[in-house]
Structure 1
Amino acid sequence: MATTTTTSDPAAAPAPAPHVLLVPYPARGHMQPLLHLASRLAAAGLRLTVVTTTSTLHLLSPLLAEHPSSVSPLTFPSFEHDTSGPTSVGVDLHALAALREPLGEWVRARARSGGEGGRVVAVLSDFFCGWTQPLAAEAGVPRLVFVPSGVLATAATHSLFRRMPRPPPAAAGREYAVEFPGLPGAPAFPWRQLSRMYRSYVEGHGGEHAEAIKNNFLWNLESSAFVCNTTRSRGATSTRSRSRTWRGNASGR
């Protein structure tokens, strides 16, 4: 009796979904916008691993319930330092950077596993997680910076840390204006209106973690793209909220 042999065609098997690692800054105002974006990415067919701590894991509950097969948490013990408290950004960044080595090893382990479904193809992280840029570079994957605020403030702050403008000694106090010729409309802002993080750095009040803050923004400038939660004007009076991917230079030259 003749028998029929069935062979599977590898080409017919569906390709595994691209696997993206999300690294939020563990504060509610930063996590919720990124988790909202994560929901849209999962709905578009991406597989996501979201880094959390034991104290922020509960914020993922709605996302995990909505996309149980495509979103997974990667949970680390909560930091001895509570990043949600009213401490300096520099202290928070220093605490978060402790994840660089264990998280880098996790990414490398996924690459060594050989399976396309496990290998991370990109890192999407909060703009206060600049330390994920060298992590992504070492893994050979692009990093995208997520910013829960608008494009203008984002571009201006990164421009400051790249160009390092300082008020001249004879400047009329805090009314010294810093120009941003590379930004649309070439705006100029008084010194007192600039980022407090930058002014503290220049004025020597940034504390022991001042360099960590500067390096954070410089690492962001090495990324592949920025994704900003911003608005675009529609006529004289209306605006429309939208997420925009901003490629290229954030320096505001």
Structure 2
Amino acid sequence: MVVAGTGTHVLMFPYPAQGHMIALLDLTHQLATKGLTITFLVTPKNLHILKPLLSTNPSITTLVLPFPAHPLIPDGVENAQDMPAHLTPAVITALGGLHQPLLSWFRSHASPPVAIISDIFLGWTHHLASELGIRRIAFSPAGGLSLAVMHALWCELPKRNNPNDENEVVSFPNIPNTPKFPWKYLSPLYSTYVEGDPVSEFLKNVILANIASWGLIMNSFTEFDRVYLQHLRDELGHDRVWAVGPLQPKDHDQSGTAQRGGSSSVPANLILSWLDKREDHKVVYVTFGSQTVLTNDQMEQLASGLEKSGVHFVWSVKEPIEGQADGEYATVPPGFEDRVAGRGLVIRGWAPQVSILRHRAVGAILCHCGWNTVLEAIVAGVVMLAWPMGADQFRNAIVLEQQKAGVKVCEGAETVPDSAYLAQVIAESVDENRVERQRVMELREAAGEATSARGSSAKDLESFVAHLAGLEFSFN
């Protein structure tokens, strides 16, 4: 085993959204167990998220910097999932305001980090690292196809023939399997790009800086993402691309599984006790991640579909965020919970997703197809019903179908599906004989092998640590 000397010092810098932070926290834990000394940059309101990590890793210290003020971001709000999606560019831009405070911190530190490992939304840290004469490694919480499409968009800057046609298809012939997407399903960071606009140009430079960075570490694994990982290596022109996933807490780490991401509105032990009374692989878990809030029309059709399906289910309902009108979002239809009592469990707010997915009773998940959820479902051997809503989720749904590990039920944040159709696909999802179940069990085994001592992800992690140790040596 390669250990990075006596504590090679690195700075970890997450993007403050749950889907981004969770994977980087898991990576931080992995690196700490390899002997690295880590400083984790966090803004004040996110400090509590680090408590489980800090309690078990004395080699990790925190650097707490105030979240930079921005005219579009409400005072006191620091997490992207607490804001409407259209404010994402504002969050990314605001965080660029930490360049000077970080520069000052580095220059005053007696033994500063030899590398910065930061989220792909923080590409400006590459320029900070260059100014300091150290390395920056981009961390991707997204999969290979999503990252390849992101690079292609900002490098090639495709435009629509008809600026008013949201359904015009954009294809990417240089990416394996030539993915195609309607304009409306491209990243909104790109689809709202205006040449010369300061925010747009800042976002473009963030992505281009990722491409220019010294290395790339990804929450993925070779057996699942091979063709796109190789494409990224070819595109970047070097082999410093490490796939170290799935990055998740181990089965025995109850603090990691039960408290991962927040505290549940229903105690985790009660949820698991409820699941204990159900048959193996017969429960469907329903969730749409940390940022998607369903409209009441969507809620009504989904509730009706669950009711008609006859299956047992756990439904995690994200409540409205600031800026979403009261009474128009996330309302569970009156009487629904009474009608499905004993068969369905509704959780308002955050739910202990990893614990739920790993329970023997859960056989399928209806989800938004966020990358963390995809990997968590694979590790648990759970069939995926995909309803991609935005961002990288459309690309993830394509990969799932390519891998035959799930099926796309519908797509789009505005779509209101038919309840009868939902009922049918939900009922079919717990069929033990379906092709997707066999395939996801194969992928589960492959994910376990990847993270085992001799697996591809374990080897990539060892290689990554060895490269960091080389940086430490070069600075001494």
Instruction: Assess if the C-alpha contact under 8 Å between 2:45 and 2:78 holds in 1.
Output: no
Show the counterpart of 1:77: 66
Instruction: Assess if the C-alpha contact under 8 Å between 1:90 and 1:212 holds in 2.
Output: no
Instruction: Assess if the C-alpha contact under 8 Å between 2:67 and 2:78 holds in 1.
Output: no
Higher helix share: 2
The amino acid of 1:65's aligned partner reads S
Instruction: Assess if the C-alpha contact under 8 Å between 2:171 and 2:181 holds in 1.
Output: yes
1:212 correspondence with 2:211 = no
Offset of residue 152 of structure 1: 0.7
Show the counterpart of 2:105: 106
Show the counterpart of 2:288: none
Q: Which of 160, 171, 189 matches 1:167?
A: 160
Alignment TM-score, normalising by the size of structure 2: 0.43
Instruction: Assess if the C-alpha contact under 8 Å between 2:138 and 2:216 holds in 1.
Output: yes
Instruction: Assess if the C-alpha contact under 8 Å between 2:11 and 2:117 holds in 1.
Output: yes
Offset of residue 24 of structure 1: 0.8
1:33 correspondence with 2:18 = no
Q: Secondary structure at the match of 1:120?
A: coil
The amino acid of 2:150's aligned partner reads T
Offset of residue 77 of structure 1: 2.5
Gaps of 5+ in 2: 226-402, 405-438, 451-456, 465-476
Q: Deviations along 1:79-125, whole A, 9 cap, x unmatched?
A: 44423232411210222111111101212233xx3xxxx23111100
Q: Secondary structure at the match of 1:233?
A: helix
Query: How many residues are paired up?
Result: 223
Q: Secondary structure at the match of 2:191?
A: helix
1:233 correspondence with 2:221 = no
C-alpha RMSD of matched pairs (Å): 2.8
Offset of residue 172 of structure 1: 9.0
Which stretch shows the higher mean deviation, 190-199 or 80-89?
80-89
Aligned counterparts of 2:25 and 2:90: Cα–Cα separation in 1: 24
Gaps of 5+ in 1: 1-13, 248-253
Superposed counterparts of 1:82-93, under 5 Å: 82-84=77-79, 85-87=82-84, 88-93=87-92
Show the counterpart of 1:133: 126
Q: Which has the higher contact order (CA 8 A, sep 6+)?
A: 1
Aligned counterparts of 1:101 and 1:172: Cα–Cα separation in 2: 40
Offset of residue 44 of structure 1: 0.8
Instruction: Assess if the C-alpha contact under 8 Å between 2:119 and 2:139 holds in 1.
Output: yes
Instruction: Assess if the C-alpha contact under 8 Å between 2:170 and 2:183 holds in 1.
Output: yes
The amino acid of 1:108's aligned partner reads R
The amino acid of 1:48's aligned partner reads I
Aligned counterparts of 1:103 and 1:173: Cα–Cα separation in 2: 43
Higher strand share: 1
Q: Deviations along 1:28-68, whole A, 9 cap, x unmatched?
A: 22211101110000001111000011111111111111111
1:155 correspondence with 2:145 = no
Show the counterpart of 1:9: none
Q: Secondary structure at the match of 1:143?
A: strand
Offset of residue 15 of structure 1: 4.8
Aligned counterparts of 1:187 and 1:53: Cα–Cα separation in 2: 37
Instruction: Assess if the C-alpha contact under 8 Å between 1:89 and 1:213 holds in 2.
Output: no
Offset of residue 160 of structure 1: 0.2
1:145 correspondence with 2:135 = no
The amino acid of 1:154's aligned partner reads L
1:176 correspondence with 2:201 = no
